[in-house]
Structure 1
Amino acid sequence: MDATIQELKERETEATKDYVLLDVREDYERSEFNVGGIHVPLGELMGSLDKLAPHKDDEVIVYCRSGKRSAMAAQLLTQSGFTNVRNLAGGMMAYLA
């Protein structure tokens, strides 16, 4: 199930975060606007699974610019054994709207 922008913004205000944000955009996109989280560009995702392994059973919300790359990343993570991966619907375009 996709995560919504409204849900993310509401959860950002919580004192303790019970989820992991994963940004799969390119470096230049992240430098333009950044809401935080772990940064692993989509093209490097499969080679970075060791870095993400501690979060295999955590809720991972993946985001990109529009939601397309993060949907692919979510699928790859799920196929790699991550148990609770969600795509941020609309990505940063929707976040900034």
Structure 2
Amino acid sequence: MNDITPTELKERQQQNQAPVIIDVREPWEHEETRISGSQNIPLGELPAKLEELEGLKNQEVVVHCKGGGRSATAKALMQQHGFQNVRNLLGGITAYNAQ
């Protein structure tokens, strides 16, 4: 699945068609600024949480961080564990907030 642009994600949110959004930044970063409806699972905790996310394996999931690096790692990890439809938010929350 291709990654998602901030514009596409915002359009989907406005149409009430937002995918599941996972913020892989640290809790303090999530507290400072967040995408509405996102769930915070820091990248370091993600491997231990994958079992809890099992129900999302066939759903669209968008992962994001500050700029896209940590979320690219999260996307690869989730794909290795059978998540079919994981997309990285291009440019992270920095690009999302800039629009």
TM range (shorter): over 0.9
| 2:73 aligned partner | 72
Residue 95 of structure 2 corresponds to: 94
Q: CA RMSD in A?
A: 1.0
Runs of at least 5 residues in structure 2 that lack an aligned partner in the other structure: none
Percent of residue pairs bearing the same amino acid type: 48
1:60 aligns with 2:27: no
Number of the residue aligned with 1:23? 23
How many positions carry a matched residue from both structures?
A: 96
Q: Secondary structure at the match of 2:73?
A: helix
Runs ≥4 in structure 1, deviation > 4 angstroms? Answer: none
Tell me the distance in 2 between the aligned counterparts of 1:16 and 1:2: 16
Consecutive unaligned residues of structure 1, counting only runs of 5 or more, are: none
User: Structure 1 CA distance, aligned partners of 2:33 and 2:8?
Assistant: 19
Please give the TM-score of this superposition, normalised by the length of structure 1: 0.94
> 2:40 matched to 1:39?
yes
